[in-house]
Amino acid sequence: MSRNKYPEETVKLILEESLKLFIEKGYESTSIQDIINHLGGLSKGAIYHHFKSKEDIFEAVCHKIGEENIVYYDKMRDDPTKNGFEKLKEMIRSAYTNPSNDAVFAMQDKITSDPKFLMNQIHESYELVAPRYIEPIIREGMADGSIQTDYPKELAGVLITLLNIWINPMIEQSTTLQMQQKLNFFRVLLGGIGIDLMDEEIMEQYMKYFEHYNQLK
């Protein structure tokens, strides 16, 4: 294939096809050759011209997904019409409404066989989402009186951990009833420290999303 006048398009193509394959087969079992075969004539040289390693492609793919989320998160955090508590609710809700959700969750389906995605998500949660979004929102809630806690940082960590890991239907398989119980207990647990995040609406939406995921399987 002859050289492209607009190399960003080539980069974009590589990232898109790589993502598809990572989702479909997992990171480890997707070979560079697999990616090449989906590039419509492009060769190994093209890939290694734009990316320095397979790992580099993986990181770029994750970064791209992350960026889409960040736009969404930024808008949420900086929304002047909501108080801290309402924003925190929105963040919780984002677990199943954020734009790249389907992609991320399709990836996670490969979690047991290919834990790279999970690790990346855990890492990003602790390094980025918690400190830059959840915690500031909680602090805002403390300032405007809509959230009462002495542990904003720790509350952020616990929320992220339980939502991403424990309640994540890809990690621990659950029946509808078990998921309902998880959400009920999550509500009780937060209620115990005076935070009533999980109202009927969020619970219902969570269950709807859960059923949706179950049907994808």
Partner DNA sequence: CAATACATACCGACAGTCGGTATTATAAGG
Partner DNA sequence: CCTTATAATACCGACTGTCGGTATGTATTG
| 8 class by beta-carbon count within 10 Å (0-12 exposed, 13-18 middle, 19+ buried) | exposed
CA pair distance 175, 169, nearest whole angstrom: 9
User: Which tokens sit at 12?
Assistant: 């974009």
E-only strand ranges, 66-215? none
CB of 26 to DNA, least distance (A): 11
Residue 95 binding a copy of itself, by CB under 8 A: no
Residue 155 binding a copy of itself, by CB under 8 A: yes
Residue 126 binding a copy of itself, by CB under 8 A: yes
- Contact assessment for residue 214 and residue 170, using Cβ atoms and an 8 Å cutoff: no
Contact region with a copy of itself (CB under 8 A), list: 33-41, 46-54, 90-98, 182-190: 182-190
Residue 20 binding DNA, by CB under 7 A: no
- Contact assessment for residue 134 and residue 160, using Cβ atoms and an 8 Å cutoff: yes
User: Which tokens sit at 35?
Assistant: 């990616």
User: Which tokens sit at 106?
Assistant: 């399709």
Residue 23 binding a copy of itself, by CB under 8 A: no
Per partner kind, with CB cut-offs from 5 to 8 A, the member of a copy of itself, DNA, none near residue 54 is DNA
CB of 123 to DNA, least distance (A): 20
Near DNA in 53-82, by CB under 7 A: 53-55
Residue 201 binding a copy of itself, by CB under 8 A: no
User: Which tokens sit at 212?
Assistant: 């949706």
Per partner kind, with CB cut-offs from 5 to 8 A, the member of DNA, a copy of itself, none near residue 136 is none
CA pair distance 123, 4, nearest whole angstrom: 36
Closer residue to DNA (CB): 55 or 196 = 55
User: Which tokens sit at 125?
Assistant: 């949660």
Q: Select from 151, 181, 12, 149 the least CA-distant residue to 85.
A: 149
Residue 123 binding a copy of itself, by CB under 8 A: yes
Residue 7 binding DNA, by CB under 7 A: yes
Residues 6+ apart with CB under 8 A from 208: none
Query: Where along the sequence are the contacts to a copy of itself (CB under 8 A)?
Result: 111-112, 115-116, 118-119, 122-123, 126, 150-151, 153-155, 157-158, 161-162, 165-166, 171-172, 178, 181-182, 184-186, 188-189, 191-194
Query: Where along the sequence are the contacts to DNA (CB under 7 A)?
Result: 1-5, 7, 10, 30-34, 41-46, 48-50, 52-55
